[in-house]
Amino acid sequence: MIKLTVHDWIARLGTHRDELVDQGILPDRPLDYLFYGHDTLSVVVEPGLELGFSASPEVLTCVHVTLLSTLPNELPYGDKLPGRLQDVLTQKAAGNMLGAPYRSQPAVRMPLPLGETGGWDAFIYNGTRSPSVSVMLQYTNDFNVCDMAFFQGKVNLQRTSN
């Protein structure tokens, strides 16, 4: 199997799973449901790098990168992030580098083992040729970036209240 960078995976958002398998960059094995009863499928391609696919058709919809482990047995991504995102390690750095988020969620108390989170922000990501990529940054309770998720189009999550 050919190993791709995060940037390469982001460039393939919107690509059908079969095409990725035919190119030798995705293993030809069944995808797992992200959550029971949810229509998103996923596969971990390397520690800290998970791909999300729509259930039907199986199209790449999300590239998820774990930077800091917040769950038991979770490993962080060990390779480089795309370009300027290498310096986006805190919420403050995210705002300085990416500008104002177009959607945000404040800190939330989640059930254990997660506990308190620092919320998230969604930004337009201009690091690809595609003009319609967003990056969602999840923060720890001390506002360090723990996860980055790249999506085609804008993040369409509803803001919830605490």
Candidates 6, 7, 62; CA nearest to 34 is 62
Q: Which letter, b or e, does each residue of 38-65 get, where b requires 16 or more Cβ atoms within 10 Å of its Cβ?
A: eeebbbebeebbbbbbeeeebbbbbbbb
The predicted model scores a pTM of 0.87
CA–CA distance, 51 with 58 (Å, rounded to integer): 11
Asked whether the predicted pLDDT for residue 70 surpasses 90, the reply is no
**Distance, C-alpha 107 to centroid of its chain:** 18
Q: Which pLDDT band holds residue 113 (cuts at 50, 70, 90)?
A: low
Q: Which letter, b or e, does each residue of 102-122 get, where b requires 16 or more Cβ atoms within 10 Å of its Cβ?
A: ebebeeeeeeeeeeebbbbbb
HSE value, Cβ hemisphere, 13 Å, CA-based, for 48: 18
Amino acid 53: pLDDT: 94
Amino acid 30: pLDDT: 85
For the chain, the domains span 6-152
Which residues are CB-contacts of 128 (< 8 A; sequence separation ≥ 6)?
A: 7, 10, 11
Candidates 133, 134, 49, 132; CA nearest to 120 is 134
Asked whether the predicted pLDDT for residue 157 surpasses 60, the reply is no
Asked whether the predicted pLDDT for residue 111 surpasses 90, the reply is no
Share of the chain above pLDDT 90, in %: 57
Asked whether the predicted pLDDT for residue 44 surpasses 70, the reply is yes
> Which of these ranges, 91-105, 113-127, 139-153, has the smallest mean pLDDT?
113-127
Give the residue with greater pLDDT, 154 vs 62.
Answer: 62
Asked whether the predicted pLDDT for residue 34 surpasses 50, the reply is yes
CA–CA distance, 48 with 78 (Å, rounded to integer): 7
